[in-house]
Amino acid sequence: VRALVTGASRGLGLALCEALAARGDEVVAVCRRPSFDLDALGVEIAAGIDVGTDDAIEQLRALADHPLDLVIANAGVNETYAAAIGDLEPATVAKEFEVNALGAVRTVQGLLPALAPGSKIVLITGGGRASVWKAPNLGNYGYRMSKAALNVFGVLLAEELRPLEIPLLVLSPGAMDTDMHRAVLAIGRGNPDPGVSGREAARDVVARIDELDMGGTGELLHRSGRAA
């Protein structure tokens, strides 16, 4: 299996690279800058790719010469902790859309030539329907708005790719003890659940990927496998 992961420098992306490499997959780790921990994995690293910019499309296209069995669009940011509309900065929300929603669009646009029937796409979201509509801790507008846009992208793309037999899963990893979650907890916003380690989450994510076939394409799942 040849698998590509974005946001591979740390957190869930790093843990996914580690888990996939450990079982013998050939991993292409996409990042802006490699971290010490990513370097230490010894996987192929494609650095200097910012999925928040259109340059990423051509940069990823250059990696699409060799077929890919799996693409995981994992890179994400969470910077709008604002609880009230008056505190919300549109420019920050726009950045979240650029990375969280359009970053996944660019990732797929760049890599589509490397995908064939049976290749899988996974979009890492920040909660499915339930957490967007019913979460007790409101606020965090831009992050949630951008992830809702990502979810819709996933459902539309899954239908477009159905005739090509490329299954797509929108996967919510739930709370994880990563830099992103720690930053939100530190200011008392967001999900108070301390979460599991990136490694624990990655194990479940890999299990969901292994189960994925055309029967499950377009679904929004929590990493446990329940509907998100």
**Positions that interact with ligand NAP (CB under 6 A):** 6-7, 9-13, 31-33, 50-52, 74-77, 99, 124, 126, 173, 175-176, 178-181, 195, 198
Closest separation between CB of residue 164 and ligand NAP, Å?
25
The residue (of 16 and 68) whose beta carbon lies closer to ligand NAP is 16
Residue 15 tokens read as 């843990």
User: Cβ distance 174 to 223 under 8 Å?
Assistant: yes
The residue (of 115 and 177) whose beta carbon lies closer to ligand NAP is 177
Closest separation between CB of residue 50 and ligand NAP, Å?
4
DSSP 3-state of 222 = strand
> Residue number with the shortest CB distance to ligand NAP?
11
Burial of 74 from C-beta contacts in 10 A (0-12 / 13-18 / 19+): buried
Backbone phi, then psi, for 88, in 5-degree steps?
A: -80, 130
Give catalytic status of residue 141 as yes or no: no
Considering 70, 76, 141, 143, which one is annotated as catalytic? 143
The residue (of 32 and 203) whose beta carbon lies closer to ligand NAP is 32
Rounded CA-CA distance 142/184 in Å is 13
Closest separation between CB of residue 3 and ligand NAP, Å?
16
The residue (of 118 and 192) whose beta carbon lies closer to ligand NAP is 192
Distance of CA 84 to the CA centre of its chain: 27
Closest separation between CB of residue 52 and ligand NAP, Å?
4
Q: Residue 2 has what DSSP assignment?
A: E
Rounded CA-CA distance 51/55 in Å is 8
Q: What distance, in Å, lies between the first and last C-alpha atoms of the chain?
A: 27
The residue (of 41 and 77) whose beta carbon lies closer to ligand NAP is 77
Q: Is 11 left (phi over 0), alpha (psi -120 to 50) or beta?
A: left
Closest separation between CB of residue 214 and ligand NAP, Å?
25
Distance of CA 6 to the CA centre of its chain: 7
Active centre residues (catalytic): 143
